Amino acid sequence: MTPKLLALAGSSRDGSLNFTLLKAVAEMARTAGAEVTVVDQSALEFPLFNQDLEARDGLPPEVKELKALMLAHDGLIIASPEYNSSITPLLKNAIDWCSRPSSDDEESMAAYRDKTALLVSASPGGFGGMRALNHLRDILLNIRVAVYPKMHSVGDAYSAFGQNGEITDHETQRRLVSLVTGYVEFAGKLG
């Protein structure tokens, strides 16, 4: 089966290293046979989750849009920065909003259940954001996402990409292609 994958970045920053990495990984996934939709970076800029706000107004339209996209895809590719050893508030807030039901009869965790996910990160630091990926993996596993066991963190990331967002280091490119190809196969089997 051709997996349909939704690609999300945990940073809405102009010039985001993780969005650059996400686009490179999305292209690798297409080459490996997946259909990939890359979500615009600003699409995750939701109001900060608050249960009173949710009770009063329900889910904001932009949350419903992202949930609909998630429901229409088999898997997620997420590139997340590391903020103080964990994931960004932007990404956590989006995960929390999308975990909420849109109606009384919606299944629990509808946007996440039976999905697979590939996690990558980029950071100017030496660990490349790996500690954030460990947290992200825990969060997703607990909300019924089958996270691909292998992940990749690109360290020293300011020098990792060329002018067109291409990965400059051959070994990093090789490892990412191998990771992404393995994940697309996994997603195709489980999806």
**Cα dihedral 182, 174, 151, 165 sign:** negative
C-beta closer to ligand FMN: residue 155 or 188: 155
Distance in Å, CB of 187 to ligand FMN, minimum: 24
Distance in Å, CB of 5 to ligand FMN, minimum: 19
Cα end-to-end distance, the chain, whole Å: 8
Chain residues in the site for ligand FMN (CB under 6 A)? 11, 13, 16-18, 81-85, 123-125, 127, 129
Number of C-beta neighbours around residue 127 at 10 A: 14
Number of C-beta neighbours around residue 189 at 10 A: 10
Distance in Å, CB of 159 to ligand FMN, minimum: 13
Listing DSSP states for 156-169 in one string gives: SGGGTB-TTS-B--
C-beta closer to ligand FMN: residue 41 or 74: 41
C-beta closer to ligand FMN: residue 17 or 151: 17
Distance in Å, CB of 60 to ligand FMN, minimum: 23
Q: Checking phi first, is residue 94 left (phi over 0); if not, alpha (psi -120 to 50) or beta?
A: alpha
C-beta closer to ligand FMN: residue 49 or 83: 83
